[in-house]
Amino acid sequence: QQPVQSPQAVILREGEDAVINCSSSKALYSVHWYRQKHGEAPVFLMILLKGGEQKGHDKISASFNEKKQQSSLYLTASQLSYSGTYFCGTEISGGDMRFGAGTRLTVKP
């Protein structure tokens, strides 16, 4: 079953912050976050694993609540380059990835 992302869309001014949420009804092995710009392939941002380990970029942070099967992606001091659609991917078992419908983020000058 696909995870649920919220909000569906958000519009920011440069320098503002945003939080994108991802919720699953199944126990998760890991949570992945990707960003996709229009017409391009998704690009990896971060992985959060059971037990608290994280792998990803320094300027992006995220959290993973294992008990609630929820993850949040925190985008601070947004830049124009942050615009795109953000997807969370939930890994139920090795390789079995389910993606949310995406959150469209628009950053305006």
The reply on whether position 96 binds other proteins by CB under 8 A is: yes
Q: Which residues contact 55 (CB under 8 A, 6 or more apart)?
A: 46, 47, 49
Place of tokens 């037990």: 51
The reply on whether position 54 binds other proteins by CB under 8 A is: no
- 38 burial type by CB count under 10 A (0-12 exposed, 13-18 middle, 19+ buried): exposed
Q: Which of 24, 70, 78, 91 binds other proteins (CB under 8 A)?
A: 91
Nearest approach in angstroms of CB 101 to other proteins is: 5
The reply on whether position 44 binds other proteins by CB under 8 A is: yes
Nearest approach in angstroms of CB 15 to other proteins is: 28
* 96/94 Cα distance (integer angstroms): 6
Task: Choose the stretch contacting other proteins; rule: CB under 8 A; options: 11-19, 32-40, 60-68, 76-84.
Answer: 32-40
